[in-house]
Amino acid sequence: MTTQQQEMIIGDFEKYMRHAIGQPQPFTLEGFVAFAISLVNFYEGSNLIANNERAATAELLLKSFNAGLKNSITAADQKEIIELIISDFSLDYSILSPIFA
């Protein structure tokens, strides 16, 4: 994965988090996973990442999210969450709309 791709991923994550923090409902792990699934699938569908970069993209998103939780998600749980993200091919544009506004 290139530096430019990594910057894009982190930048989009930060945009989404700024939006999520301003919402009345808390930003949960479930909310993050739904966001990550849609973002990974959007990137791949738009040819911004290759199929073999799905796991690395999910991992970078999860590391960013976990950093905000003071790295409280265990390594074993991270592996499961990454697998969940890359195994789901759904795409919900309404979840992604805040980063494209």
Least confident of 19-33, 34-48, 83-97: 19-33
The tokens for 76 are 């074993």
pLDDT, one tens digit per residue, over 68-89 is 889 999 999 999 999 999 999 9
The tokens for 30 are 């479930």
- 101 — pLDDT class (breaks 50, 70, 90): confident
Backbone φ, ψ for residue 91 (5° rounding): -145, 120
Mean of the per-residue pLDDT values of the chain: 95
What is the C-alpha to C-alpha distance for residues 15 and 9, in angstroms, rounded to an integer? 10
Residue with the two structure tokens 């976990």:
66
Give me the residue spans of the domains in the chain: 3-100
Q: Of the candidates 52, 60, 51, which has an alpha carbon nearest to the alpha carbon of residue 8?
A: 60
Q: Are 16 and 100 in contact (CB under 8 A)?
A: no
What is the C-alpha to C-alpha distance for residues 57 and 54, in angstroms, rounded to an integer? 5
Q: What is the pLDDT of residue 26?
A: 85
| pLDDT > 90? residue 65 | yes
Q: What is the pTM of this model?
A: 0.94
